[in-house]
Amino acid sequence: MCIDCGCAEPFHKHDHEDNHSPRKIQVGEDLLAKNNRLAAANRARFAAEQLFVLNLVSSPGSGKTSILERTLTDLKSRLAFAVLEGDQQTDNDANRIAATGVPVKQINTGAGCHLDAHMVGHGVDLFDLGATDVLMIENVGNLVCPASFDLGEAHKVAVLSVTEGEDKPLKYPLMFQAADLMLINKIDLLPYLRFDLAQCKAFARQVNPAIKIIELSCYSGEGMEQWYDWLQQGVNQKRET
Ligand SMILES: Nc1nc2c(ncn2[C@@H]2O[C@H](COP(=O)(O)OP(=O)(O)OP(=O)(O)O)[C@@H](O)[C@H]2O)c(=O)[nH]1
Ligand SMILES: [Mg+2]
């Protein structure tokens, strides 16, 4: 479902002359207000369970599931994870996560372009949250809509792969403003591409001066330790609250 129109129809035609009508603005506000209320309830529930919750957002194919597969495999002996997988269709990603032995639930959004707080609130019912340290939510691959929907997470983590071009933070600023951490993935491919890493980081900081940035490759393993340190720090802070 798109926040601009609130419609769930994939090929629905919009009357663009109506774009600025009061009725249309009201729908968007109601939709976000309702989502924000449910996200606050999720956040309170996660806090009560001392659960560290991350919302992984990116364009399709940047490597969200690959990063999760490697992270879970490397860290599952010291942290208890659960994963919510969001995709329009298929349970491909949930099957990949299940192969690591970590509890996972797939949410299919159909025509919807993002997860919302209602889906997440029901999705986690399957898990034993009291026995979980980290909930990873992989959002639908989309650099636009997931930026506007709070799920109750501690942080949005934006994944950008080096094959996408260094200008993406400027072209999709809402996503990089909403994120606290940017993972620049697939750096093993840098020798084969024209991708200006320094420029990419400068663009991200231009739209969000506070954003933390980690460069990594889940193929070569480079940078993964930095990501694990950041993750562990978040878990430690959550346990102290
Ligand atoms: N070279 C290289 N390829 C990678 C890396 N990480 C992921 N890939 C490849 O990138 C492709 C997409 O990876 P996924 O993990 O499925 O990406 P995703 O973001 O989960 O994709 P969606 O769920 O469809 O949005 C796969 O072919 C991966 O093998 C990496 O660090 N280096
Ligand atoms: Mg995926």
Tell me if 230 CB under 6 Å of ligand 1: no
Which ligand number lies closest to the CA of residue 141?
Answer: 1
Domains of the chain: residue spans and CATH? 20-240 (3.40.50.300)
Testing ligand 1's pocket by substitution, the residue of 62, 66, 106, 190 carrying the most ligand atoms inside 8 A of its CB is 66
Tell me if 35 CB under 6 Å of ligand 1: no
The number of beta carbons lying within 10 Å of the beta carbon of residue 14 is 12
State residue 16's pLDDT score.
Answer: 44
Nearest atom of ligand 1 to the alpha carbon of 66:
15
State residue 241's pLDDT score.
Answer: 78
State residue 10's pLDDT score.
Answer: 45
Angle formed at CA 63 by CA 124 and CA 32, multiple of 5 degrees: 45
Nearest atom of ligand 1 to the alpha carbon of 59:
25
In this structure, the residue with its CA closest to atom 29 of ligand 1 is 66
**Alpha-carbon Rg of the chain, whole angstroms?**
18
Each residue's pLDDT tens digit, 130-144 = 999 999 999 999 999
State residue 12's pLDDT score.
Answer: 44
Nearest atom of ligand 1 to the alpha carbon of 69:
15
Tell me if 186 CB under 6 Å of ligand 1: yes
In this structure, the residue with its CA closest to atom 7 of ligand 1 is 63
CA 237 to chain centre: 20
Measured in Å, residue 185 CA sits from the centre of ligand 1 at: 9
State residue 22's pLDDT score.
Answer: 55
- Give the CA distances from residue 10 to residues 1, 123, 172, in Å, rounded to whole numbers and listed in that order: 9, 24, 22
The strand pair at 212-215 and 52-58 is best described as unpaired
Encoding tokens for residue 159? 């994944």
Encoding tokens for residue 25? 């603005």
State residue 240's pLDDT score.
Answer: 87
Q: Which residue numbers in the chain have pLDDT < 50? A: 1-5, 7, 9-14, 16-18
CA separation for the pair 101, 150 (Å, rounded): 28
